[in-house]
Structure 1
Amino acid sequence: MMYGTTFTAWRAEAAELWHAYTHHPFVEGLRDGTLPREAYLRYLVQDYVFLIHFSRAWALAVTKAETVDEMRFAARTLDALLNDEIALHVATCANEGVDEATLFAAPELPQNIAYTRYVLDAGHSGDFLDLLAALAPCVMGYGEIGLRLAAARNGAQKNAPYADWIDTYAGQGNQQVCHEVGALLDGAIARRVGPSPQQTPRWATLSQRFAAAVRLEVGFWDMGLSG
């Protein structure tokens, strides 16, 4: 599943890293249910903290946008993160006896700090495109992973340990967001760089920023497995 031409090109240029991210042992453990529950909960706690910073990054996107449509999209995404996606983490952890106050106060692990601050720095030091390049791997990567894991699951696995996580990211709502972010990215590239972005010096810089964020996603999965 491809989410726009810009993302597809960046994904191809970072193909080896992208495969390491989307087929990481943590992801495969989600697929077949072998991921230790302790690792999943450690990931959920850190991902809650990550999503708080991710939300701040989308809030920053409002100030970096050049059009009202871009501002509205960033604001809608911020709302969805704070009021929908985070709810999965809160509900799952609550079932394990971890409340939201504990999640919010959880110490950030180094891999989490590295990734979230990289994304925020991309927005603060760069422009709207720099920020989108750093944000895209999380949005589209989880969408791609969700679809692949859902397709690999048969009907007998509907109640598998991580079915809720898979269904969230394979679901129609999240897939729609992935396509919309892809369209936002394509439109932002065309507006700022022009109709042939890969022929410009800016392209390599943005592609490298995207690849760096993918590398940090791999590190985030590593953190989930090893702590």
Structure 2
Amino acid sequence: MSQPDSFAAFQSKNPDAAFHDWLRESAEPFWTRATAHRFTEELAEGTLDPQACARYLVQDYAFVDSFVSLLGYAVAYAPAMPEKRPFAGFLAAVTSEENDYFLRSFRALGVPDTEWREPELAPVTAELLSILQDSGRSGSYPLVLATLLAAEWSYLTWGLACGARRPREFWMAEWIDLHAVPEFQQFVTWLRDETSRVGAASPPDVQQQMCRTFRHMMQLEERFFDHAYTPETGT
């Protein structure tokens, strides 16, 4: 499917569409592959191999460290307190409840402390961290929004797709809960609206940068799930 080359072109054919609709459509087919991945389906069904889950969580915990820093940049770059407050609240949640989940899961899955404290980064993880770090240091609020939205909106999408399914093992069930609870949905909805507000008002070159970053993030999100089954190795 050909992708609209600009938000203006997309909106001319879809007058009621928001900026985030253009980002999502421009990220196909990676958006669909990442949000309906084998990993998330097996997670919901409770059939996910524990080794695959452990491999994924170790890499995701490495991702969280840079993600927390990006949230800090979002607080700094947000124009006023009404925009800063949602980021600050989400930052507190990630560094408390979510961090506790990781530590309990590592113990339950038998992951050695050295493995999660000093992980060997997969190439896809290193690429994701590079995008987070570049976005954070860019000084660009629009770019930070696009990066955060790709990560969080995609996770909300698969989290909600799990419906009421919850495996017996907490390290699967609670990972779904973290990405499907009303509080997370409320934050992502706000983030999506804020990205659309800022993106629609941005110059075309900034819109293109946001679009490229969102699409690249979704390519990497698909690979990140793939790594749980077929580990990527460095060159």
What TM bracket, shorter-length normalisation?
0.7 to 0.9
User: Is 2:179 the partner of 1:175?
Assistant: no
Residue equivalent to 1:222:
226
Q: Deviation of residue 44 (structure 1)?
A: 0.8
Normalising by structure 1, report the TM-score.
0.83
Q: Over residues 100-150 of structure 1, what are the superposed CA-to-partner deviations in whole Å (9 max), with x where a residue is unaligned?
A: 675232222221111011122023135011111112111111101011012
Normalising by structure 2, report the TM-score.
0.81
Between the aligned partners of 2:51 and 2:207, the Cα distance in structure 1 is 41
Residue equivalent to 2:212:
208
Q: Over residues 137-186 of structure 1, what are the superposed CA-to-partner deviations in whole Å (9 max), with x where a residue is unaligned?
A: 111111010110125x3xxx553672222222122222122112123323
Counterpart pick for 1:113 among 115, 120, 126? 126
Find runs of 4+ consecutive structure 1 residues off by over 4 angstroms. Answer: 99-102
Listed as ranges, the gaps of 5+ residues in structure 2 are 1-16
Contact kept? 1:31, 1:149, Cα under 8 Å: yes
The residue type paired with residue 87 of structure 2 is A
Between the aligned partners of 1:111 and 1:103, the Cα distance in structure 2 is 17
Between the aligned partners of 2:167 and 2:122, the Cα distance in structure 1 is 32
Q: Deviation of residue 201 (structure 1)?
A: 4.1
SS at match of 1:34: coil
Contact kept? 1:64, 1:127, Cα under 8 Å: yes
Between the aligned partners of 2:124 and 2:139, the Cα distance in structure 1 is 22
The residue type paired with residue 182 of structure 1 is R
In the TM superposition, 1:35-54 aligns within 5 A as 35-54=48-67
Contact kept? 2:167, 2:173, Cα under 8 Å: yes
Q: Deviation of residue 187 (structure 1)?
A: 3.5
Contact kept? 2:70, 2:135, Cα under 8 Å: no
Residue identity over aligned pairs, in percent, reads 28
The residue type paired with residue 116 of structure 2 is L
Q: CA RMSD in A?
A: 2.4
Contact kept? 1:120, 1:131, Cα under 8 Å: no
Between the aligned partners of 1:103 and 1:18, the Cα distance in structure 2 is 28
User: Is 2:134 the partner of 1:134?
Assistant: no
Count of paired positions: 214
SS at match of 2:163: helix
SS at match of 2:29: helix
